[in-house]
Structure 1
Amino acid sequence: MNLDDELRALGRSAVVPPVDDALTAAVLNRVADIPVRRRMRDRWRFFVAGLCVLLAGLALTPPVRATVAEWLRIGGVEARPVGTAPSTAPPIPVVTGRLSLDDAARTAGFTPAWPRELGTPAGVDASPRFVAMGWDGVRLEQFQSGVSPLYWKKYYNQIEYVPEVSGYWFSTPHTLVLVDQRVVRIAGPTLVWERAGVTYRLEVADKARAVQLAAGTS
């Protein structure tokens, strides 16, 4: 017989003397009123409340949100960190299409938005669910967010959360890839955000300028 069996046999054979009911009730009442137990209960409540506040604060902290974005999608764009990145990027591509905004909307299947302060785009191109617009030194792409991402952005440096538009700023050159693994091109500084089921990619050299234009896109 092993130790476990011996202990079980001992428990079954042990004779427990009767206990006075009044004494049992008194002991239980005394234990319930011990201040230490109340203090422990209160400390546990304070700990849980403090933990919730801490987690809520971290969720709203831009560096933490930027870290989460390293492996989460931003609308129809998926950001993927890589070990190396391009050192330079070519100039922002010019949009050569000459569609009207109405024609672009009919082709894409949704009404495109643009930074109103820039006025009518110099170039407009479109395909189903996708519109590209261009001005001098500015390129805006927008497309309907689907179940699968349209683009992968392979980047090296940390991306930065932009609370003004709930988007992310890619400050350095990065590889822009379509989901079918075709490398589209090397892209420069870009602001990416999503609104009402549409993902926006705004390429412009300066972050402050990008945020201003994005805020005025309608």
Structure 2
Amino acid sequence: MDDLERELRDLSPWLRTPDAPELTGRVRARIAAPAPWWRRWRYYLAPVLVVLLVALLPPGRAALADAVAGVLRFAGVDIATVPGSPPSADAPSPLPSQLSLSLAEAQRQVRFPLRVPAGLGPLDEVLVADPDNTGACRVATLVFQGGAVRLDTFDGRIDPVYLKRVTEPGTEWVRVDGAFAVWVVGPHDLTYVDRTGVTRVQTARLAASTLIWEEAGVTYRLEGDLPKAEAIGIASALW
């Protein structure tokens, strides 16, 4: 024992130190007491607010679906990103029970308005497909420029209608009349999902660049060899 330690030991009887506080009882009482309401609710409100923000914003909805299912879902279209170039059928079959009608006849066969885009020239053909037991068709397609440009219209609020397989970068968020829309870049694989949920593999085909947007519960899918800015302009001028 060195001199310093010996001196400190000799000094200890002369020092007054406070009694050790009784902490056990305090800790037990703190645990048993209910936490303030603001402290309890913050643990529940934080995740709820995050989910609400994600659900209210269309990109948030898509991002959430992408994180959960590996598929970006937007307005009745499921878009999966795959490596390399997705395979496509060379000669796709038409959609189920597809018919070619006049615009007026086609409008009577669907439960949503058929709106014609300006600036694409004359309408070549109108196709309707996949009727239910009342004869109401699920999809209508307006064909322009000898088939080079197509505008699909359908109710996309509930079930997926189309599956897309794209390669990176694949998709881009844009706006049509201030609302969110999806721009699918370049050629990609497109497959139809019928009203029973069956994926119609035989309909798979190579689709051109596509703009997808939604208005009043109706989904529009404009496909063709169009620059992005031109496609957005066409989408903003339906009549």
Q: TM-score, normalised by structure 2?
A: 0.56
Give the 3 Å change call, closer, same or farther, for CA 116–88 of structure 1 in structure 2.
Answer: same
Q: 2:232 aligns with which of 194, 211, 215?
A: 211
**Matched residues, percent identical?**
36
Q: Tell me the C-alpha RMSD between the 2 structures.
A: 3.6
Letter in 1 for 2:83: G
1:148 aligns with 2:148: no
Kept in 2: contact 1:157–1:172 (CA 8 A)? no
Kept in 1: contact 2:62–2:73 (CA 8 A)? no
1:196 aligns with 2:232: no
Give the 3 Å change call, closer, same or farther, for CA 102–83 of structure 1 in structure 2.
Answer: same
Kept in 2: contact 1:164–1:215 (CA 8 A)? yes
Q: Secondary structure at the match of 2:109?
A: helix
2:73 counterpart residue number = 73
Letter in 2 for 1:81: T
Give the 3 Å change call, closer, same or farther, for CA 119–192 of structure 1 in structure 2.
Answer: same
Q: Secondary structure at the match of 2:213?
A: strand
> Post-superposition shift, 1:66?
8.0
**1: distance between equivalents of 2:152 and 2:123?**
12
**1: distance between equivalents of 2:233 and 2:114?**
18
**2: distance between equivalents of 1:80 and 1:170?**
11
Higher helix share goes to which structure? 1
Give the 3 Å change call, closer, same or farther, for CA 110–163 of structure 1 in structure 2.
Answer: closer
> Post-superposition shift, 1:129?
2.2
Kept in 1: contact 2:87–2:189 (CA 8 A)? no
Letter in 2 for 1:215: S
> Post-superposition shift, 1:196?
0.9
**2: distance between equivalents of 1:139 and 1:104?**
15
Q: Secondary structure at the match of 2:233?
A: helix
1:103 aligns with 2:82: no
Higher strand share goes to which structure? 2
Q: 1:163 aligns with which of 163, 172, 175?
A: 175
Q: TM-score, normalised by structure 1?
A: 0.61
